[in-house]
Structure 1
Amino acid sequence: MALQRVYQEFDERMKPTLHFYLYTPDYRYDFTEFVTGHEWSGDINIAGETFEITTYNKQLKNDRRWLPFEEGYMVKVMLEYPTGKGFPGPTELFRGVITARTISGDGTEQLRVQDYNWYLQQNEITIKFQNKTADQIIAHLCRVAGVGVNYMDKTKHVFAELEFIEKTLWEIIQTVLTETYLRTKKRYNIRSEYGKLSLREVTMSPNRMIIERGKNLLGSTREVSIEEVKTQVIMTSGESQRNTRVVKVDAAAKKKYGTLTAVEHTQDVYGPGGLSALAQGFLDELKKPSDHVSVEALADYNISAGTLIEAYDEMTGMNDYYFVTAHSHSGQNGYSTMQLELSKSYNPEFVPYEKPDEDKAEGGETADLDSKLDDISYVSGFIGTAYDPRLGGINGSGDYSKTATGTKWAYKRTIAVSPKIIPYGSVVHINVPTMPEFTGLYLAEDTGGAIRNENGGKRVDVLIEGRTNTSRFGRRNVEVAILEKGKGAADARAKAAKWNSIKAAWQKKLDQRSSKGKGKGAKTGDPKRDKVVELARSYKGKLTYKFGGKNIPSGRGDCSGFTFFIFKQIGVNLGHGTMSQITKGRKIATSAAQPGDLVFFKGTIKERGANAVSHVGIVTRPGYCVSLASSGCKEHGYLPSNHKYWGKHFMQINRVL
């Protein structure tokens, strides 16, 4: 369908105003006159929309509150027009539940109201679906969460079997809609209408609002990027990635952008034809450069996440239709503006289906074996080196397939030690501050003359695969913690034979320890700071890094997407990107850092330069923070004294609370 530019003129007298209503078990209150400000926001990647409402809720002659706002009470926001012939009647804009309040002594009371789709994000479930379509699955999940259903388009594609373990209802919804799109090429938008969920197919509606320079546009920026483009897709199916395999290449995109490959796998068993179509679906989605536009305009409350609009601005090259991927309307009834994030296509973040592992670990606080462990005593002064038996053994036996204790060596398990310092069979955690990718749990099961004699025996040789990696490791200072003292060669052989279960047992033991110490560091007494730290820590070990990603509820994002999401939960809008977030709040002395402050790092992205801000985390206690990086969401040090890597890149602390 060819899109025609259509101008829509509105009589200023027809402009609606917002009216706010509180519903208690006994009364309905119109509290519009109490409202001093508001922010209405939503994102196509987040389950529900939010109204942040600021009120002056103090009686005139005493220090009592006027209205009984309370968590769980319903709030409606209506668009109401002037009365008279030709004017439309009131229209419901939003309906939701009060989830949080902040009350100040001066009478200011801030309400956070979430629409009812919020409950989809707050509930986790373990469930299996067989022979169900996406709309049937979503309807079932709504019943689980107690969310009503208003209208649902039929998605038609039937999934033979889908199993989810400890997933939020919202992540399941995003997964089934992603998989439906890959098979049908149809997109669906989830929104709340009259307090109930609606599922509607995304179409190129001819009724579009217009944003244009010289009229209602106040400012705009545009970013076009190929950083996440893929020009070829390798697709496999079945239980093994070595089963059926197809490769799809877009020749034009490859010629223009170069070779950029994605490897995808589906547990569903497909013949070559079906797998080929699925691979092509991935490629069609991934081959397109991102074209992201941010605009500020006079507020129009008919525009929200998922709306199709037209935007025109000669300077930035906007001259077409765009989908609103995120919005934020703020201000007062008299004058309001809106911030819109726009995209040329309606592309919620991909959340492909991953068949769960049978031995899926239980949820909860997870100790990170790939980082220095909290509350564990380490011994410094050890020299770390690396070896690979395939490049030459060190045990003097001439049998490079066996260690000094008779075990068959294994990468990511075997270390060579001086048994007088670290007895054979010891379970050891080694912290490698300057190469954190080699920090981990190891078994003392090998030795060598050089190791016994050098540095008084305080040397560990880590078995690492390949000449390049062993050379890169070289010699460096490491810290060693003996978690379980070994009993000799026989003990080493017994533990090597059941290493996976031993590692899992230590993981469980450390998890329990981590859970007990989860609140480490005194409470600040500031509920917002304590909430930020609690939320940030709750995502440790549960997120996958994706550059530019913002879909934290579904388990994917980048560092600034993570901090944006966490602070959004307490009503603070940090903006997107580290370069934007570093402008928020004020820089403070490093020694003054408190839980809930932001910590910024520089030089972690070479393209930006050594002194440019490139990473951000949330301070959890002095010297430590939680951040989302390529290795996942972890709590780590940020000072040179407690983390060699992050300390080297530390930049500054900002206070935004």
Structure 2
Amino acid sequence: MSVSLRYYSSSDTYVKLTELVTSVNWSGETTQASRSCKVSMSNTTNGTTKAVNIEVGKDVRLYVDGDEIFRGVIFNTEIASDGSFSFTAYDYNYYLTKNMDSMKFVKQKASQIIRTICSKYGISAGTIDDTGYVIPKLILRDKTLYDMIMIALTETRKKTGKVFMLGNEKGKLVLRERKSQVKRLIIKDGSNLLSASYSESIEDLRNSVRITGKSGEESKGVTVSDSASTKKYGLMREKEHESEKSVAQLMPIANALLKELNKVARESNIDALGEKSIISGKMVQVSEKMTGISGGFYVITDSHTFEPNGLHSMSITVSKTLELNELEYEPPEEPEKTMASGGASNDKATDVVNLARSFKGKVRYVFGGKSIANGTGDCSGFTYYVFKKATGKDIGHGTSAQIRKGKQVSKASAQAGDLVFFQGTYRSGVSHVGIVTRPGFCVSLASSGCQEHSYTTGYWAGHYMEIRRVI
């Protein structure tokens, strides 16, 4: 196996970095817009100066056995005094998450919508499979381009059952229908399997949901439960409040939330000898006796590591079901009449931030807890309490409910009093929420307590999801 890495200082001028590289990690997930390439290298030959001047915004390309498997843009770099250097690049689909817009589409297929977006933003497009279904109308306000595409593909899947996978090949956006994969790599003991692990958890399972509405939090509301799950695992109930919903409107919300939460979290992880064709969305055949991982699986996440000695290994997370980033379409509400002055809104935001900050170091994290005034609670319980106390506004219980409130704004447009959401901290999808105190910082209640922290650097930057304005 031969690996080659090229750094492009211009469109037609490149430098081979292969001799300087100590490790290359190439990875992706079915729920992410783009694939990434993380490179570690010794960027010096004499210990005092850089061997190559590598800049953010420049292209990098990765080749394995002569085939280009990655083309992307460097978004961050880091160098140490001993010349140790690293950078992270993302393929061109990453820009879909960096641009927000409002668009209206009438009687168009998802494939046509994608071509329209590509044309408007100057995005190079490759193969775009015909998605077939004509979507009657989509009004998309303040959405990233990626979310627009995901909403269109979700609508298509719901109507046709067809799954389409977004990708990027040699700098061009591609869309291909996910069809049955007959040929699969076999990963098994004594051959190419290095190690495996399997885990199950009911920590986050909820088999009963109670939601109250217009009649108040102390009213009966609606309750839905799964008796079989309750008998097997014990009663675990989620409580939420939707102050503007009638009982009739609450039932479908409760059923949808129960379906989402009433799941045993299962995870199968495989370490194996690398095969460059195995990326997220593909299928593999696995046979491992100790863990019981056996049969055909979808690859949900993949991480390929290339070492200078020629070793290529991969770590993959696999699942019996294909996990996709599906976004439901919610027709926008009619815009409310704006006030003559924004002062009242600003005052509310100030009240929210001041109250949130007053709890720093004073509240202990308890999953599902909502006793903030008594010193315990969880992240969404904290945000609910602060908004209710400071503004009288009910933003709902639980991150799944709160992320549906207000409107999404870009990270660059964040203001004090906005909600900032994070994903993948302990489960896939939205899993944590905080209150923006100033651009780049928020107060949130986590296992480490109630703290003010950055959401643009460190741990939380890696789990950042979106920001929503609710006041």
TM-score, normalization by structure 2? 0.67
CA separation of 1:231 and 1:541: change in aligned 2, threshold 3 A: closer
Q: 2:18 aligns with which of 32, 45, 49?
A: 32
- Does the alignment pair 1:543 with 2:421? yes
Answer whether contact 2:351 2:390 (CA < 8 A) is retained: no
CA separation of 1:107 and 1:367: change in aligned 2, threshold 3 A: farther
Q: CA deviation at 1:167?
A: 0.8
Answer whether contact 1:149 1:198 (CA < 8 A) is retained: yes
Answer whether contact 2:75 2:90 (CA < 8 A) is retained: yes
Q: 1:559 aligns with which of 424, 429, 432?
A: 432
Larger RCO, structure (CA 8 Å, separation 6 or more): 2
SS at match of 2:352: coil
- Does the alignment pair 1:619 with 2:433? no
Give me the whole-angstrom Cα distance separating, in 1, the residues matched to 2:127 and 2:356: 58
Instruction: Give the letter aligned to residue 541 of structure 1.
Output: L
Q: CA deviation at 1:51?
A: 0.5
Whichever of the two has the greater Rg, that structure is: 1
SS at match of 1:143: helix
Answer whether contact 2:33 2:94 (CA < 8 A) is retained: yes
CA separation of 1:140 and 1:338: change in aligned 2, threshold 3 A: same
Give me the whole-angstrom Cα distance separating, in 1, the residues matched to 2:393 and 2:18: 68
Answer whether contact 1:550 1:558 (CA < 8 A) is retained: yes
Q: CA deviation at 1:119?
A: 0.6
Give me the whole-angstrom Cα distance separating, in 2, the residues matched to 1:193 and 1:377: 45
SS at match of 1:33: helix
Deviations 1:300-358 (A, max 9, x none): 22211112111111122111111111111224132243221111121213311112222
Q: 2:117 aligns with which of 130, 141, 159?
A: 141
CA separation of 1:438 and 1:254: change in aligned 2, threshold 3 A: closer
CA separation of 1:157 and 1:546: change in aligned 2, threshold 3 A: farther
Quote the residue 1:46 is aligned against.
Answer: 32
Instruction: Give the letter aligned to residue 290 of structure 2.
Output: M
Quote the residue 1:322 is aligned against.
Answer: 297
Quote the residue 2:132 is aligned against.
Answer: 156
Q: 1:65 aligns with which of 38, 46, 50?
A: 50
Answer whether contact 1:22 1:31 (CA < 8 A) is retained: yes
CA separation of 1:546 and 1:211: change in aligned 2, threshold 3 A: closer
Give me the whole-angstrom Cα distance separating, in 1, the residues matched to 2:288 and 2:333: 50
- Does the alignment pair 1:305 with 2:254? no
Give me the whole-angstrom Cα distance separating, in 2, the residues matched to 1:600 and 1:102: 30
Quote the residue 2:399 is aligned against.
Answer: none
Q: 1:102 aligns with which of 70, 74, 78?
A: 78
Answer whether contact 2:282 2:299 (CA < 8 A) is retained: yes
Answer whether contact 1:57 1:109 (CA < 8 A) is retained: yes
Answer whether contact 2:5 2:63 (CA < 8 A) is retained: yes
Deviations 1:203-261 (A, max 9, x none): 221121122122222222223567669899xxxxxxxxxxxxxxxx9999999899999
Quote the residue 2:3 is aligned against.
Answer: 18
SS at match of 1:172: helix
Quote the residue 1:114 is aligned against.
Answer: 90
Give me the whole-angstrom Cα distance separating, in 1, the residues matched to 2:301 and 2:390: 50
Instruction: Give the letter aligned to residue 103 of structure 1.
Output: I
| Equivalenced residues, count | 389
Q: CA deviation at 1:45?
A: 0.9
SS at match of 1:117: helix
Instruction: Give the letter aligned to residue 21 of structure 1.
Output: R
Quote the residue 1:373 is aligned against.
Answer: 352
CA separation of 1:377 and 1:348: change in aligned 2, threshold 3 A: closer
TM-score, normalization by structure 1? 0.49
Deviations 1:530-565 (A, max 9, x none): xxx9999999514388995544xxxxx1139x9xxx
CA separation of 1:285 and 1:600: change in aligned 2, threshold 3 A: closer
Deviations 1:154-193 (A, max 9, x none): 1111111111111111111222222211111111111111
CA separation of 1:66 and 1:626: change in aligned 2, threshold 3 A: closer
Answer whether contact 1:211 1:312 (CA < 8 A) is retained: yes
Q: CA deviation at 1:50?
A: 0.6
Identity of aligned residues (%): 25
Instruction: Give the letter aligned to residue 297 of structure 1.
Output: A
Answer whether contact 1:75 1:98 (CA < 8 A) is retained: yes
Q: CA deviation at 1:23?
A: 1.8
Quote the residue 1:222 is aligned against.
Answer: 198
Give me the whole-angstrom Cα distance separating, in 2, the residues matched to 1:224 and 1:142: 41
Quote the residue 1:356 is aligned against.
Answer: 332
Quote the residue 1:522 is aligned against.
Answer: none
Q: CA deviation at 1:290?
A: 5.6
Answer whether contact 2:125 2:172 (CA < 8 A) is retained: yes
Instruction: Give the letter aligned to residue 182 of structure 1.
Output: K
Quote the residue 1:402 is aligned against.
Answer: none
Deviations 1:399-434 (A, max 9, x none): xxxxxxxxxxxxxxxxxxxxxxxxxxxxxxxx9565
Instruction: Give the letter aligned to residue 352 of structure 2.
Output: L
Instruction: Give the letter aligned to residue 289 of structure 2.
Output: E
Deviations 1:560-609 (A, max 9, x none): 9x9xxxxxxxxxxxxxxxxxxxxxxxxxxxxxxxx99x99955xxxxxxx
Quote the residue 1:447 is aligned against.
Answer: none
Instruction: Give the letter aligned to residue 330 of structure 1.
Output: T
SS at match of 2:158: helix
Quote the residue 2:61 is aligned against.
Answer: 76
Answer whether contact 1:432 1:439 (CA < 8 A) is retained: no
CA separation of 1:138 and 1:18: change in aligned 2, threshold 3 A: same
Give 1:323-342 correspondences, 5 Å limit. 323-334=298-309, 335-342=311-318
Unaligned runs of 5+ in 2: 210-224, 241-251, 339-344, 360-371, 376-380, 395-405, 435-439
Give me the whole-angstrom Cα distance separating, in 1, the residues matched to 2:120 and 2:393: 49
RMSD: 5.1
SS at match of 1:181: helix
Answer whether contact 2:268 2:319 (CA < 8 A) is retained: yes
Deviations 1:508-534 (A, max 9, x none): xxxxxxxxxxxxxxxxxxxxxxxxx99
Answer whether contact 1:36 1:54 (CA < 8 A) is retained: yes
SS at match of 2:114: helix
Quote the residue 2:42 is aligned against.
Answer: 56
Quote the residue 2:99 is aligned against.
Answer: 123
Quote the residue 1:132 is aligned against.
Answer: 108
